[in-house]
Every structure is written in structure tokens, then in C-alpha cells.
Amino acid sequence: MTLFGEVHLEEQLFQWEGYCLRPFQLESQLSCRGYSLPLQRRIVDFAADVSFENAQKKLKEHYGIDIGKERIRQITYAHCAAMKQGCELQTQVPAKPGKAQIVVEADGSMIPLIRECPDREGGSDMRKNKALEWKEYRLALAYGNGEVDPVYGGSFGSVDDTGDQMLDVAIRAGTGTRTSIHSVGDGATWVSDQSERVFGSQANFLIDYYHLCEYLAIASKVMEEIDGKDWLHYAKKLCLEKNGAEKILKELKPFVEPGPVPEEEAPVRQCYRYIDNRHGQFRYYEAEKAGLPIGSGKIESGNRSVIQARLKKAGAWWKKENADLMITMRIHRENRWWHTYWRGSRAA
């Protein structure tokens, strides 16, 4: 094959950024023994959902390409790291009004991690000198009220790191200087504390309604014995009324077990204290009237779909840094940043 007169294309070399490349390599973005970017995209997409071993099988089945699972792992983590490097936290609320209402939720999920134990006996199973430990990954999301797709963020770091992620996703979802933040979470105090820290007076925090119902269910075992009615059903409806939490406290107060009764034998006291310690966090009537969610179902669903579906497969153990990279990549996909990344990416 000849081009440009008598010059053989195979023999013509070009200098590009200090490297000696053949024209086809430059055009195709392929290096010797490398993998094209479209192929790498498919590799990473498979590895995002299944184990590296199963990703190897899927590539073989769908494309007839046989690549070692170790190489699949390397390619996947290289792109995960590139995605993470491009995720700069947004920490300054834009100087514009923004959307009227943003919903923010946060929750934690325990991830199985590897801890090195050099003193343990080794063997054919490489994990015999390692131990399993669990560490919480805290996920945050935000979306405009009435919208379907949230923006996700998360961290293995401190609760303050998670609070920064809550601010980041809220900004990405459209928060401005006049935006009202509706923050929802379970009874973990760090969620409400971080909401107050990063949003200040812009936010109102609401305890997940179904989480409160768990405490009402505990207290109902005693309350139903006293008056014989379906107290749990009555209490659930009462909570949704205006000043519902205060009404529940009045119902419970006469039946709170005295101090000497052990905690595990004092369900009414547990419920009363839970509500009494969280004044202003049970405004379900106001939330429903404004068309805002009273449950944190989206973040719980996010924990399952974004994190647990890949990282909590049977027998899976992770190095912390690898788990962080994998979650970052799955967040990228959920946030619709996937196509943008690959359009601007180079082969790993």
C-alpha cells in the first residue's frame, strides 16, 4: 500500500509531543498492545456492575475479545481515578436566586473492607493474612422538588466531609442564594448537624417519618395494653396533623416509665425521649402541605443501587481506596456525567 507518491505509509513516522508514532496510531489513539477507547469504555461499564471475572466473561460473550481479569481491573481503576480527579467540590453557593426548593438527603452504608493482618497464617487463600472490617460510606443526594433524578456525592471521610458533599450536590442540583433547602434524614444526629452547618438558615431538617414510626411501634406495645385501641394507627395519623409531635408527647407523658426501670424495659420512655430531644424536626404537616417528601426513601434506594449492588456482592472484600474509586465511578454514571467523561478521555 502506498500513499503520497512512493512513500509507504507503514514506514512513515511522525513526531508528536516528543514521541515517535505511526499515523494510524495517532488517528486511532492506540498504542502497541493497547486497547481502544471504545473498548475500554465497555470494559469499565461491565466492571461497574459485575465482578472483574464476570466482566471478562461478558466481553468474551458479546465481543469475542478475551482479556485477562487483572488487565480489566487495571483499566477500570485507571478510569475511576481519572473520574475522581475531575470531581472538584463545589463549596460556594452561586450568587443567583437558584431553584425555589431543593431536597437534600444523606445516609450511611457499611462497606466490607480488607484489613492487613501480617501475623495471621497464610496459604493458598491470599485472604488468610487479612481480616474483614466494616466502614461506613456516607452518601448524599440533592434534587429540585418535583424532579426525578438526583445528584449524588459521598465520602468515606468524616461527617464534615459528608456535610461538604451535601453542599456540593445541593449546588449542582441548582441551589442559589434564595433557595430553600428541605433536608431529610433518619435519627442520626450527624445528618441534622451537617445540614445546619453547611446550609444554615436556608435549611429545615425533617426526621424521616417511617423512622419515627419505628419508635411509635415500640411504645404502642405498652399504650395499646392501657387503652385497648389501635394506638399505633392513631399515633401515625396524629403525627401528620399540625403540631403532631407535641400531641404525641402529651399522649405519652403520663405513661413514661420511671427512672429506675431499665432502658430495654421502658419503650414509652424511649419514644418520648426520641421526640423530645428533636424539637422542630417533625413538621410533617407543613412538609406535606408544601408538597415536600416526609421520608428519606431516595437516599435509601441510592445506597442500594449506587453502592450495595456492586460493593456488597457475596464474598466481596475491598481495599478502601479501591472501594472509593468504584463508588466514585458509579456516582459518575448515576449523575449523567458518564458520556461527558468519555468524550474528553484518552485511553488508559
Residue-wise pLDDT for 93-148, tens only, equals: 999 999 999 999 999 999 999 987 766 555 545 566 778 899 999 999 999 999 99
The CA distance from 187 to 74, in Å, is 40
Residue 205 near residue 121 (C-beta atoms within 8 A): no
* CB atoms near residue 71 (< 10 Å): 13
Judge contact between 244 and 283, C-beta under 8 A: no
What is the arithmetic mean of pLDDT over 188-207? 95
CA distances, 223 to each of 251, 254, 346 (Å): 9, 11, 65
User: Could you give the percent of the chain with pLDDT greater than 90?
Assistant: 74
Q: What percent of the chain has pLDDT over 70?
A: 86
Side-chain half-sphere exposure of 326, counting CA atoms within 13 A:
27
Rounded CA separation 237/265 (Å): 26
SS3 56: helix
Q: With a cut of 90, say whether residue 208 has pLDDT above it.
A: yes
Is 235 within 8 Å of 274 (Cβ atoms)? no
Three-class secondary structure of residue 183 per DSSP: strand
* Whole-number average pLDDT of the chain: 88
Do 215 and 274 form a contact (C-beta atoms < 8 A)?
yes
Q: How far apart (Å, rounded) are the C-alpha atoms in residues 132 and 114? A: 5
33/165: higher pLDDT: 165
Question: Could you tell me the CA-to-CA distances from 197 to 15, 64, 100, 252 in Å, in that order?
Answer: 54, 53, 20, 32
pLDDT digits (tens, 9 = 90+) for 256-301: 999 888 988 999 999 999 999 999 999 999 999 999 999 999 999 9
Indicate the pTM of the whole model. 0.85
Gap between the Cα atoms of 265 and 279, Å rounded = 25
Residue 288 and residue 120 in contact, taking contact as beta carbons nearer than 8 Å: no
Distance, in Å, from the CA atom of 100 to the CA atom of 192, rounded to the nearest integer, reads: 21
* Other CB atoms within 10 A of residue 48 CB: 19
In a 10 Å sphere around its CB, with 0-12 CB exposed, 13-18 middle and 19+ buried, how is residue 205 labelled? buried
CA quadruple 265, 236, 214, 229: dihedral sign? positive
Rounded to whole angstroms, the Cα distance separating 304 from 87 reads 22
pLDDT band at 11 (very low <50, low <70, confident <90, very high): very low
CATH architecture designation of domain 101-116+128-207+295-317: 2-Layer Sandwich (3.30)
pLDDT of residue 254: 93
What is the C-alpha to C-alpha distance for residues 255 and 186, in angstroms, rounded to an integer?
Answer: 25
Spell out the domain ranges in the chain: 9-87, 101-116+128-207+295-317, 210-284
Closest CA to 141 of 98, 109, 187: 109
> For residue range 302-329, what is the model confidence (pLDDT) as tens digits?
999 999 999 999 888 999 999 999 999 9
3-class DSSP assignment, residue 285: helix
Predicted pLDDT of residue 22:
60
pLDDT score of 270:
94
